[in-house]
A and B are shown apart, each in its own frame.
Chain A
Amino acid sequence: MRWLVRLLGVVVLLLLAWRVAAVGLAEGYPASFWISQTLNGLVLGGVYALIALGYTLVYGILLMINFAHGDVMMIGGFTGFFALQLWIGVGWLDGSALWVVLALVLTVVAGMLGSVLAGITLERVAYRPLRGAPRLVPLISAIGASLFLQYSVLLIFGVTPRAYTRPALIEGGFRAGDVFVPYTGIIIFIVSLVLMLALYLIVQRSKLGRAMRAVAEDKSTAALMGINVDQVIVFTFILGSALAGAGGVLLGFHNTVVKFNSGFIPGLKAFTAAVLGGIGNIPGAMVGALLLGLIEALGPSALGIPTEYKDIIAFSVLVLILIFRPSGLLGEVLSEKKA
């Protein structure tokens, strides 16, 4: 059985390689095109990583997929939008570069706060009462929470997408020969990296991070250490939601719009990225997200299919990973508790 799955995996890979060689490379795109697409992929991957980390953090501690996480990100996108309108209202975006940068930073912070509020509310209302219930129950609650967030926003703000105004300062981009990188892309990538580094330091170096890792391994022994497990779980939701909120704002600037269902597809993509890297594994989420971004950006051209089908590629990756390597690329060895 096992060798059959392996064989199938090899056949799928060979077919993909053949398709790339026969179609993608035969098209003869210039090198600059591939470089641009690679950079686009990294930018997209950076955003996916911010969202994927939230899935992985919560899974690591509660063994639960927070399917409302993409919508928590969308809430951050909306909060960021309104914050941005406020800065425009008081004229900050017309001011000097310093004011514009300040406004942008505060927009991201507002998005983070909005998402954190949504995240901890969900934890308290939708998940905590179900702790100790069979694992399927909170999952269903999460799907309900996702729909609740989407349709609440739809009810309050309507279907019209809200447009993110890009200040002139970050309009345009960087050009080297035929390679063009928009400034927003560079900003997104840098902000993602900085936030990921911050997360890494919090989890690996801080006392609370150590408590998080202890709770992830063994809740009752963590409680014996004097750790308030509920508080650590809330803290985990705060971290994950804050990253998602930043991702929501960055995605707003990238796609220029946000609407009630903007979180759905990126949420699924980020979930795919988290599974690709190995759910529950923090570096895995980062690697999986960057990889998925690259696959999405390069895949359609390499396989010679229209870009509109890029979502198919992303979700095929999810299916293939679940079939051939369910523990993900950096998949952790399942401890007896999780097996």
Chain B
Amino acid sequence: MLVLEQIHTYYDRIHALKGVSLTVRQGEIVTLIGSNGAGKSTTLRAISGLIKPRLGRILLDGQPIDPLPAHAVMRLGISQSPEGRRIFARLTVEENLELGAFTRNDKPAIRADLERVLALFPRLRERLRQRGGTLSGGEQQMLAIGRALMSRPRLLLLDEPSMGLAPLLVEQIFRIVRSINEQGTTILLVEQNAHAALSIAHRAYVLETGTVVLEGPASEVLASSQVREAYLGG
């Protein structure tokens, strides 16, 4: 459903992505792993339309989406839980979730999806009236994922959902990610925690300084000596 063809992006003079190509098929969990600064978040920002590739194309169901502004990309069914969670700190948890459904007008269905998100993340229900900024890191991560789900995306982009979380919580988040996928949402997962990501993904791409150095089924990537050495601690 999503295809990136030879994407090049720049931050001022810095050549961040140097011809990244990848494909995400309907129903998959695809993970994009790599070390800090490899260009993982940049890839997601390019897909969402927050930065424009200088070269290359991004296609959703065969249609180019790279010329579109971010708010228009989101309306096509691609929603992102960004790096660093980016919760609206001064808005309540409920308002954050409602903003996730900003593009929708079907009130009863939004209500139902809110219930679905709260069922996934029961902790958020207790905090609905609290300001987003008062949540703990783990709760903010749940809110960021929940907020991204509120638009009923066809493709969910998750940027480092495990960052800064305790191991127990990481496990819980990954279990939820998998169950979101099982309910029919395609997922592109960016992670530094390569082991956890590879254990739930169908396919994987390994990014290094702006280029894809390895790709394949997650189990094969997990077994590859290259990845073992670089990201899994030997």
Contact = CB atoms under 8 A, between A and B. Distances in A.
Do A and B associate with each other? yes
Contact of B99 (A220, A225, A229, A335): A225
The dominant DSSP class at the A interface is: helix
Contacts of A225: 71, 74, 99-100, 102-103, 147, 151
Interface in A219-262: 220-229
A217 B70 contact: no
Nearest to A224: B80
A214 interface: yes
B39 interface: no
Interface string B87-101: 011110001001110
Interface string A305-339: 00000000000000000000000000000010000
A210 interface: yes
A307 to B, nearest CB: 41
B86 A218 contact: yes
Interface string A196-220: 0000000000010011011001101
Given A207-B102, A210-B98, A220-B70, A226 B91 contact: no
Contact of A210 (B75, B82, B86, B99): B99
26 contacts: A210-B99, A211-B99, A213-B91, A213-B95, A214-B91, A217-B88, A217-B90, A218-B86, A220-B70, A220-B82, A221-B82, A223-B50, A223-B70, A224-B74, A224-B79, A224-B80, A224-B86, A225-B74, A225-B100, A225-B102, A225-B103, A225-B151, A226-B71, A226-B74, A227-B71, A335-B89
Contacts of A335: 89
Contacts of A220: 50, 70, 82
Given A210-B95, A213-B91, A220-B50, A226 B86 contact: no
B192 interface: no
B96 to A, nearest CB: 9
A228 B91 CA distance: 18
**A227, A229, A335 — which one has the most chain B CB atoms within 10 A of its CB?**
A227
Sorted from nearest, which 8 A-B pairs have the closest CB atoms?
A223-B70, A226-B103, A226-B74, A221-B86, A228-B71, A225-B99, A225-B102, A226-B71
Contacts of A226: 71, 74-75, 102-103, 151
B42 interface: no
B9 interface: no
B20 to A, nearest CB: 20
B99 A214 contact: yes
A230 to B, nearest CB: 9
A147 B49 CA distance: 38
A335 B131 CA distance: 14
B48 interface: yes
Nearest to B91: A213
B71 A214 contact: no
B37 interface: no
A224 B72 CA distance: 9
Nearest to A215: B88
Interface residues of A, number: 18
Identify which of A211, A221, A222, A223 gathers the most chain B CB atoms within 10 Å of its CB: A221
Given A210-B95, A210-B99, A223 B69 contact: yes
Interface in B65-119: 69-71, 74-75, 79-80, 82, 86, 88-91, 95, 98-100, 102-103
A3 B71 CA distance: 48
A224 B82 contact: yes
A217 B71 contact: no
Nearest to B87: A221
Contacts of A221: 82, 86, 88
A228 B74 CA distance: 11
A228 B71 CA distance: 6
A218 B85 CA distance: 12
- Residue with the highest number of chain B CB atoms closer than 10 Å, among A210, A217, A226, A227: A226
B48 A224 contact: yes
A30 B48 CA distance: 68
Given A207-B102, A226-B102, A214 B50 contact: no
A332 to B, nearest CB: 9
B89 A217 contact: yes
Given A224-B80, A224-B82, A229 B89 contact: no
A211 B102 contact: yes
Contacts of A228: 69, 71
Contact of A213 (B70, B88, B103): B88
Given A224-B70, A225-B151, 10 more contacts: A207-B98, A207-B102, A211-B99, A213-B88, A213-B95, A214-B99, A218-B88, A221-B86, A225-B103, A228-B69
Contacts of B48: 224
B103 to A, nearest CB: 4
Contacts of A218: 86, 88
